[in-house]
Structure 1
Amino acid sequence: MDPAPGRLLVASPTLADPNFARTIVLLLDAGDDGALGVVLNRPTSLEVAEVLAGWDSVVDGPGVLFQGGPVETDSALGVASVAGTDSEDGEPLGWRRVFGSTGLVDLDAPIELMAEAVSALRIFAGYAGWSAGQLEDEIAEGAWYVVAAEPEDPFRVDPSDLWAEVLRRQGGVLAMMATMPVEPGLN
């Protein structure tokens, strides 16, 4: 499967980069110029209310920022699910579709406006980014598996087992990867 907005990048069990070891990245943009996404399974201990007052009332549990990736960690991206967005006409102002009912929220939009439209929201500090051809090279080297996302993936209350769960639902060899120990040599 090719990288595209709305797909997941699943880190190979052998990916040693500490920024991405055993992570799941939701691709928000991918094309000839590169790719951008957010890590779904790295919650921080920093409460949303401490950084983006008001948005904490819209965020689904846990009410913390998630480490979206190693790039621009002092910036924030909002990923939200919006009910009733089957057509382009029904999209709320300040929201851009990525896949299905999941998209990016403009965190500068009025909170009151978004709170009415949003059914789930997660806020990420920073993002993961790849230059043109870089992600494709990493996929070819076996660092990432590209798989389809499910609507609930970005919004799990407890994302600690998301990496293994996404691998298991793929079946076959990828499902077996979910059981690979962190340190195979210590097994």
Structure 2
Amino acid sequence: MFNELDPKTGCLLISEPFMLDPNFERSVILLCNHDAEGTLGFILNKKVVGCVGDLVKEMATCSFPLHIGGPVAQNELFFIHSRFDLLLSGDEIRENIYFGGDPELLFSLVNQGKIKEDEVKFFLGYSGWQLAQLESEIKVNSWAVQNKFPTALVFEKDTELLWKQAVIGLGAKYAHVANFPQSPSLN
């Protein structure tokens, strides 16, 4: 699987269906930063058992899910959101998708019900690549790159649907992959 990496737009990485690294098996990753120092992104479709309220005392009643952003810095909390109009902070990844911002204000807005579950995603850790590492992985078909996708896909709650829709979004050539079972050996 191969497409051009366009770091200016924010893009999705979709792992090849049978990737051996369990950290990235059937993963969809939103790239948030890609520059001369390396690449940073978050796995969108790997949930942690528990919720944000279990981890953040200021949000004790919040049941929004936590996601494993990747194998790096898994003791740190990160977030993406679509509500710059309320947070007035965060780095724009692409239209209506922002990385980070003011966490205290975010916690308050979530507690007040002004930011909904489909407008923010929380991650423990992130996925990272050193300079040129990701490009090399793309060249050996470990990842497919999707540069055009609806914003709603990033905030999709159903993790299996998110993966399938990302694969289908790669085009007809890859659509059949969306129906591959998670464990082919069990068929």
TM above 0.5, one fold? yes
Q: Once the 2 structures are TM-superposed, how far is the Cα of residue 56 of structure 1 from its aligned partner? A: 6.4
Q: Is the 8 A contact 2:87 2:106 kept in 1?
A: no
The sequence identity of aligned pairs, in percent, is 26
Alignment of 1:22-101 (within 5 A): 22-55=26-59, 63-82=64-83, 92-101=87-96
Q: Is the 8 A contact 1:69 1:127 kept in 2?
A: yes
User: May I ask how many residue pairs the two structures share in their alignment?
Assistant: 178
What is the TM-score normalised by the length of structure 1?
A: 0.82
Partner deviation per Cα, 1:55-90 (whole Å, 9 max, x = no partner): 467x7xx61211111100000111100265xxxxxx
In 2: Cα distance, 1:186 partner to 1:47 partner: 31
Q: Is the 8 A contact 2:68 2:124 kept in 1?
A: yes
- Name 1:106's counterpart in structure 2: 101
Unmatched 5+ stretches in structure 1: 85-90
Q: Is the 8 A contact 2:87 2:105 kept in 1?
A: no
Structure 1 vs Structure 2 CA RMSD: 2.5
In 1: Cα distance, 2:171 partner to 2:141 partner: 18
Partner deviation per Cα, 1:11-62 (whole Å, 9 max, x = no partner): 00131110000010000111222110000001111221121233467x7xx6
Q: Is the 8 A contact 1:15 1:22 kept in 2?
A: yes
* Secondary structure of the structure 1 residue equivalent to 2:99: strand
* Secondary structure of the structure 2 residue equivalent to 1:127: strand
Which amino acid is the alignment partner of residue 66 of structure 2?
L
Which amino acid is the alignment partner of residue 140 of structure 1?
K
What is the TM-score normalised by the length of structure 2?
A: 0.82
- Name 2:121's counterpart in structure 1: 122
Q: Is the 8 A contact 2:87 2:102 kept in 1?
A: no
In 1: Cα distance, 2:39 partner to 2:74 partner: 17
Q: Once the 2 structures are TM-superposed, how far is the Cα of residue 137 of structure 1 from its aligned partner? A: 0.5
Unmatched 5+ stretches in structure 2: none
Q: Is the 8 A contact 1:95 1:104 kept in 2?
A: yes
Larger strand percent: 1
Measured at CA, do residues 30 and 186 of structure 1 come closer, stay the same or move farther in structure 2, by a change above 3 Å? same
- Name 2:21's counterpart in structure 1: 17
Q: Is the 8 A contact 2:83 2:115 kept in 1?
A: yes
With 17-26 and 2-11 compared, the bigger mean Cα shift is at 2-11
- Name 1:88's counterpart in structure 2: none
- Name 1:144's counterpart in structure 2: 143
Which amino acid is the alignment partner of residue 75 of structure 2?
D
Q: Of residues 6, 20, 23 in structure 1, which corresponds to 2:10?
A: 6
- Name 2:169's counterpart in structure 1: 169
Q: Once the 2 structures are TM-superposed, how far is the Cα of residue 150 of structure 1 from its aligned partner? A: 1.9
